[in-house]
Amino acid sequence: MKLRIDGGRILDLVDGSLTSASLLVDDQSGLIEAIGDVSLPADRVLTLHNEVLLPGFIDVHVHLRDPGFEDKETIATGARAAAAGGFTQIACMPNTNPPLDEPGVLKYVRDQAEAAGASQVLPIAAITKSQKGGELTDFAALKEAGAVALSDDGKGVQNGALMLAALEAAAKAGLPVAIHAEDESLSGKGVLNKAAAKRLGLPEIPGAAESAMIARDILLAAETGAHLHVCHVSVESAVALVRWAKQRGVRITAEVTPHHLLLTDDIITRDDAVYKVNPPLRGERDRLACLEGFLDGTLDVVATDHAPHTQGEKEQGIAAAPFGMVGIETVFPLLYTYLVLPGLMSLRDLTLRMSTQPAQAFSLRGGVIRVGGVADITAVDLEQERVIDPAGFYSKGHNTPFAGWPATGFSSATISRGKLIHTSEGVELSE
């Protein structure tokens, strides 16, 4: 089945220009077969209204909660939410129950994703068995079962010697190690950044809990030649460490979340767990350092750390509620509205950080629109403004701190491997 997409403008990833053109994609080959005009013969035609065509977004850090916590999210609801957010590929973290620590569970994830027929779901396997930090999993077997990276996300690997062994084995297996950097001897029972913690009389997670472990792992990655991927960088010292490691030629990539780019702990003036996330929202100095690192490319990719929780869990208050916020359906509109529109960054650079660079960092297909390339595309409407309303989410998780924020840049249509996986109202499809 050949689908032609008319009425869009393709973003040039080299010079940032936009060119009106039709795209012809095929769901058998999964490839972009031609870039031309409305004369390209097709079985179906999708008619857009001046949307921008971007390579499908890729999120290398989401939590799908399945198996084990399906009341928070399932692979199907998460993959559909991702498609609605313009994502064609998402990498899911292993902190499920059972965790993604053996090939059988990875197969389950891939089968569920296949059945959902939405965004492609790429499993990230656990570094340690049951994510207990004691014994390494079988990296080669997990890679064979489809793992695109290794992580114990949700927790840091506390033991340095074990991390060294993990990096050695990961280098051998050819998988990146995505670290949740948190030294628990420093973070303890902490829940918030210093200022907010003081304000609400709750325990603190100091920035050093994050940067101390990043420093350790940079040194270990340099020893082993492994690819270290630093998850959710949130503090100034962590940005500086990643920048230093890159200058020294360490194989390192890093991500930043939309919430650490747009929010600070100043927003936490009452006991509302919608703001509880790990690492916590930091101060303005840290936020600006993350933004600077994001703009100069030190932080290569945006990742949402999409972390759905039930309303009941989040109603327990900051001390008791679980950490995490959803983000997959709102990240592009938020960053487009609050970074690109005010002139802080270009649409091209945002696209590189949300598609091209995640593909490169995790050795995935996609990240570019070209004839013969994979047909993973998102059509974004840069004109229509909407107010973010969790009631309209495809995700089961409604725990976003951005509810009520106006934004533009929502996805009108998403195509994965040549198949239409999402359309919003008003998009015409003719046979």
Residues that bind ligand DOR (CB under 6 A): 63, 95, 153-154, 180, 277-278, 305, 307, 322-324
One-letter amino acid of 135: E
Which two structure tokens, joined as six digits, stand for 378? Answer: 């998102």
- Binding-site partner at residue 244 among ligand DOR, Zn ion, none, CB < 5 to 8 Å by type: none
- Binding-site partner at residue 220 among ligand DOR, Zn ion, none, CB < 5 to 8 Å by type: none
Nearer to Zn ion, 91 or 359 (CB): 91
At its nearest, how many Å lie between Zn ion and the CB of residue 170? 18
Strand partners, 35: 23
Q: Is 66 a catalytic residue?
A: no
- Binding-site partner at residue 322 among ligand DOR, Zn ion, none, CB < 5 to 8 Å by type: ligand DOR
At its nearest, how many Å lie between Zn ion and the CB of residue 281? 15
| 33 interacts with Zn ion by CB under 5 A | no
Nearer to ligand DOR, 168 or 184 (CB): 184
Contacts to Zn ion from residues 370-429, by CB under 5 A = none
Nearer to ligand DOR, 56 or 322 (CB): 322
At its nearest, how many Å lie between ligand DOR and the CB of residue 280? 9
- Binding-site partner at residue 395 among ligand DOR, Zn ion, none, CB < 5 to 8 Å by type: none
Nearer to ligand DOR, 99 or 367 (CB): 99
Contacts to Zn ion from residues 97-116, by CB under 5 A = none
Helix, strand, or coil (residue 428): strand
- Binding-site partner at residue 187 among Zn ion, ligand DOR, none, CB < 5 to 8 Å by type: none
Whole-number Cα distances in Å, 206 to 29, 55, 192, 193, 294 = 50, 37, 8, 6, 22
Nearer to ligand DOR, 136 or 307 (CB): 307
For residues 259, 263, 269 and 270, what is the CA-based torsion angle, rounded to 10 degrees? -10
Nearer to Zn ion, 9 or 63 (CB): 63
One-letter amino acid of 71: D
- Binding-site partner at residue 95 among ligand DOR, Zn ion, none, CB < 5 to 8 Å by type: ligand DOR
Contacts to Zn ion from residues 47-106, by CB under 5 A = none
One-letter amino acid of 320: A
In order, the DSSP letters of 149-162 are: EE--TTS----HHH
Nearer to ligand DOR, 93 or 164 (CB): 93
| 305 interacts with Zn ion by CB under 5 A | yes
* Parallel/antiparallel/unpaired status of strands 406-416 and 377-387: antiparallel
At its nearest, how many Å lie between ligand DOR and the CB of residue 279? 7
Q: Which of 290, 286, 292, 321 is nearest to 303 (CA)?
A: 290
Is 378 in contact with 392 (CB distance < 8 Å)?
no
At its nearest, how many Å lie between ligand DOR and the CB of residue 307? 4
Neighbouring residues of 33: CB distance < 8 A, sequence distance ≥ 6 = 2, 24, 25, 26, 371
Is 281 in contact with 273 (CB distance < 8 Å)?
no
At its nearest, how many Å lie between Zn ion and the CB of residue 301? 14
- Give the nearest residue (CB) to ligand DOR: 324
Across the beta sheet with 177-179, what order do the strands follow?
A: 57-62, 87-92, 120-125, 149-150, 177-179, 228-230, 252-256, 301-302
Contacts to Zn ion from residues 146-185, by CB under 5 A = 153
- Binding-site partner at residue 282 among Zn ion, ligand DOR, none, CB < 5 to 8 Å by type: none
Neighbouring residues of 60: CB distance < 8 A, sequence distance ≥ 6 = 90, 91, 149, 178, 229, 255, 301, 303, 358, 361, 362
Would the CA dihedral through 312, 315, 320, 325 be positive or negative? positive
Is 96 in contact with 121 (CB distance < 8 Å)?
no
Using the rule CB under 5 A, give the single segment among 42-50, 117-125, 157-165, 302-310 that binds Zn ion: 302-310
DSSP structure class, residue 128? B
At its nearest, how many Å lie between Zn ion and the CB of residue 227? 18
Q: How far apart are CA 80 and CA 420, in angstroms?
A: 12
Contacts to Zn ion from residues 245-284, by CB under 5 A = none
One-letter amino acid of 426: G
Which two structure tokens, joined as six digits, stand for 266? Answer: 């100043």
Nearer to ligand DOR, 327 or 358 (CB): 327
Q: Which of these is catalytic: 265, 305, 376, 381?
A: 305
At its nearest, how many Å lie between ligand DOR and the CB of residue 182? 8
Is 157 in contact with 133 (CB distance < 8 Å)?
yes
- Binding-site partner at residue 239 among Zn ion, ligand DOR, none, CB < 5 to 8 Å by type: none
Q: How far apart are CA 355 and CA 89, in angstroms?
A: 9
Q: Which residues bind Zn ion (CB under 5 A)?
A: 153, 305
Catalytic residue numbers, as ranges: 305
